[in-house]
Amino acid sequence: MRAIGFDEPGGPDVLTLEHDVAVPKPGPGEVLLKVAYAGVNRPDCIQRAGQYPPPPGASPILGLEVSGEIVAVGEGVDTARLGEQVCALTPGGGYAEFCCVPAGHTLPVPDVLTMAEAAALPETLFTVWHNVFQRGMARDGETLLVHGGTSGIGTMAIMLAKGFGMTTIVTAGSEEKCDAARRVGADHAIDYKTTDFVEAVGLITGGDGVDLVLDMVSGDYVARNLKCLKPGGRHVTIAVLGGMKAEINMALVMSKRLVLTGSTLRPRSDAFKTALRDEIEREAWPLIEEGAVRPVMDEIFALEDADKAHARMENGDHIGKIVLAVDESL
């Protein structure tokens, strides 16, 4: 099969299209997907740069989410599933014509979505649901602050929060991106390059602060985020783009009774991801099926142009999701 590979870590230019990669075989509890589209995510770029190795047993091929058709099943999977069109969270292997995934990590593609849109869902949906609604304990009527409001994660967080009756405040790097975030459904958008977001959050909330922060920056943002939280607020870290270390005032944490948590999704067990998928299908998938939540699409690249897709993600100009077209006939 064709697949994207790289010989040595480096920039986007190290990615090449290989034509003689072995088609994987589904193991027990797995399905083999003929891939239609593959989502491009920040962890793919970090893995390509040599800083995020795949977990033991995972495919070394990039790609954490796909859409496609089930063309083979492993032991224990009902053969009636053959021919289903699904999207899936993958442990790796998405940038290829075929990809094996645990059967419990798939979701049906609803009629309201294209296959390209379906491929743009799983990674952000699983990540936001787990971190905002499970770890962050988000509730109706609360206020959420999201950094990177026009990223795939940011746009998904806006839509899910809106779907569950929350107020969203986001930060973005230009007024154009702030406008885009508002169009997606953000109640407030702050250009962090021209405005102190801590002061802006205080003005927006009348000095009360927010209930929850979804942070993908970390570094010196953490101390500023904590100032934005109201008593009993929760701070959830999902990436460390601004640095892995933060200096915080623990007296503030104690006096405001704050909760600091975070997670990474890829190393979690198959059983955990299956349970997460089941909750998403029950609680959030109806919003997808009725069209209330739909991925914001940035650009679709051909599989062989994965290097261009990575370059676009890393230059920060994208709004929403970037995907690779693998087999557009599906």
Structural contact between residues 316 and 173, judged by C-beta atoms closer than 8 angstroms: yes
What gap in Å lies between CA 189 and CA 177, rounded to an integer? 9
Phi first, then psi, for residue 156 (nearest 5°) are -65, -40
| Residue 129, domain extent | 125-262
Q: Is the same domain home to 138 and 194? A: yes
Structural contact between residues 136 and 291, judged by C-beta atoms closer than 8 angstroms: no
Residues 6+ apart with CB under 8 A from 174: 191, 193
Q: Which of 245, 262, 279 is the last residue of a domain?
A: 262
Quick one: pLDDT at residue 35?
98
What gap in Å lies between CA 155 and CA 175, rounded to an integer? 16
What gap in Å lies between CA 265 and CA 11, rounded to an integer? 24
Overall average pLDDT of the 196-225 stretch:
97
In this predicted structure, the answer to whether residue 118 has a pLDDT above a threshold of 90 is: yes
Q: Which residues pair with 149 in a beta bridge?
A: none
**Domain harbouring 77, CATH code:** 3.90.180.10
Quick one: pLDDT at residue 5?
97
Quick one: pLDDT at residue 330?
86
Rg (CA), the chain: 20
Q: Is the same domain home to 95 and 183? A: no
Q: What is the DSSP letter of 55?
A: P
Q: Distance from first CA to last CA of the chain, Å, rounded?
A: 16
**How many domains does the chain fold into?**
2
Residues 6+ apart with CB under 8 A from 271: none
Quick one: pLDDT at residue 298?
96
Q: Give 260-298 pLDDT, tens digit per residue.
A: 999 999 999 999 999 999 999 999 999 999 999 999 999
**Domain harbouring 210, CATH code:** 3.40.50.720
Quick one: pLDDT at residue 226?
98
Q: Is the same domain home to 152 and 274? A: no
Query: Which of the four pLDDT bands, split at 50, 70 and 90, describes residue 172?
Result: very high
Is residue 330 one of the residues assigned to a domain?
no
In this predicted structure, the answer to whether residue 217 has a pLDDT above a threshold of 90 is: yes
Is residue 289 one of the residues assigned to a domain?
yes
Phi-psi region of 243 (alpha: psi -120 to 50; beta: other; left: phi over 0): left
Query: Which of the four pLDDT bands, split at 50, 70 and 90, describes residue 237?
Result: very high
Q: Is the same domain home to 96 and 178? A: no
Q: Is the same domain home to 181 and 249? A: yes
Q: Is the same domain home to 258 and 129? A: yes
